[in-house]
């Protein structure tokens, strides 16, 4: 049976650390602006310098996502995007680049689709794992069993409000990396990422049991090279989503302009995460 690429993900994050920099993780929804266009956008992000890409599974009620990603999800859903298209997006993006591709999704679509079916298909597509922002860790055993069987990472999301006990539980249960939401609220660009993110990264690392340390990657709010550099000073990875989506929206239907803008932003951010020792 084909296994997922959790080792590729771990190796990619470790390589970035060995180069004394944070990894750049880009987020783009599947099916936006079309399925083919979304695949091309992911390739453009990798071409620009992204180390990892999260493929969003569009959802009609994206509680964590701000207006920019909600707009993209709505476009994808009106275009008829299905889970099969998400799997195709993962497969083609990974096969074209050889780089780790994860899926970020709310729990309901997986629950309806079937956990075993979803994990088997994601692994067969070459996926590295899944980010599950609304799956409680205490209710994740069946998911983790299936993900482990297929070599997929299970990435949980922590927030500044997370208590140390919860951080310890998530670090013990998760794999791949810990997704640290830099602030309370929904996704979107921010003027400043703030000190909360640095404190959360510190606490997440301190909560890990010996031998269970995971990279901690920060998302929500990073939109430019200056912010990427700020976060790279204390995090293992910098996650950027809304800023990429906005570049495509701003292209107003000009696919080539949108792809060029995505590649350009990835290059700027990739330079930002290459912090000096």
Q: Is 2 exposed, middle or buried (0-12, 13-18, 19+ CB in 10 A)?
A: exposed
The ranges of the chain with pLDDT < 70 are: 1-4, 62-65, 183-194, 275-277
What per-residue confidence (pLDDT) applies to 209? 84
207-226 pLDDT, tens digit per residue, is 988 888 899 999 977 889 99
Set 36, 47, 54, 134: catalytic member: 54
What per-residue confidence (pLDDT) applies to 187? 44
Nearest CA to 164 out of 199, 193, 189 is that of 199
65 is catalytic: yes
What per-residue confidence (pLDDT) applies to 189? 44
What per-residue confidence (pLDDT) applies to 183? 62
Listed in sequence order, the residues at least 6 apart from 195 whose beta carbon sits closer than 8 Å to its beta carbon are none
Set 19, 61, 65, 165: catalytic member: 65
What per-residue confidence (pLDDT) applies to 191? 47
Q: Which residues pair with 217 in a beta bridge?
A: 179, 237
Beta strands across the sheet bearing 216-219 = 153-155, 129-131, 101-104, 52-56, 23-29, 237-240, 216-219, 178-181, 157-158
- Residue 154, φ and ψ in degrees, nearest 5: -115, 110
Alpha-carbon distance of 38 to 240, in angstroms, equals 16
* CA angle 26–252–240, rounded 5-degree value: 15
Task: Show the domains of the chain with their CATH numbers.
Answer: 3-271 (3.20.20.70)
What per-residue confidence (pLDDT) applies to 185? 40
199 is catalytic: no
Q: Which residues pair with 219 in a beta bridge?
A: 181
The verdict on pTM exceeding 0.85 is yes
Q: Which two tokens stand for residue 27?
A: 């987020």
178-201 pLDDT, tens digit per residue, is 999 876 443 444 445 567 889 999
Cβ 97 vs Cβ 65: under 8 Å: no
């Amino acid at each position: 049976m084909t296994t997922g690429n959790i080792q590729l993900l771990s190796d990619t994050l470790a390589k970035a650390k060995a180069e004394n920099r944070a990894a750049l993780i880009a987020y783009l929804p599947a099916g936006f602006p079309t399925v083919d266009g979304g695949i091309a956008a992911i390739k453009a992000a990798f071409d620009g310098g992204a180390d990892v890409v999260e493929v969003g599974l569009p959802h009609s009620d994206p509680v964590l996502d701000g207006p920019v990603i909600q707009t993209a999800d709505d476009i994808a859903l009106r275009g008829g995007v299905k889970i099969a298209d998400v799997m195709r997006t993962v497969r083609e993006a990974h096969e074209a680049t050889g780089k780790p591709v994860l899926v970020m999704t709310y729990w309901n679509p997986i629950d309806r689709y079937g956990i075993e079916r979803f994990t088997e298909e994601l692994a067969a597509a070459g996926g590295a794992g899944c980010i599950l922002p609304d799956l409680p860790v205490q209710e994740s055993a069946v998911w983790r069993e299936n993900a482990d069987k297929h070599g997929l990472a299970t990435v949980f999301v922590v927030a500044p409000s997370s208590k140390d006990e919860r951080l310890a539980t998530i670090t013990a249960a998760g794999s791949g990396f810990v997704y640290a939401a830099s602030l309370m609220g929904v996704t979107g660009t921010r003027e400043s990422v703030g000190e909360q993110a640095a404190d959360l990264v510190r606490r997440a690392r301190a909560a890990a049991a010996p031998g269970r340390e995971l990279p901690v990657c920060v998302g929500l709010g990073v939109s430019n090279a200056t912010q990427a550099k700020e976060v790279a000073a204390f995090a293992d990875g910098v996650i950027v989503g809304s800023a990429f989506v906005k570049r495509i929206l701003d292209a107003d239907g000009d696919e080539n302009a949108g792809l060029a803008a995505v590649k350009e932003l990835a290059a700027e951010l990739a330079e930002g995460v290459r912090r000096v020792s």
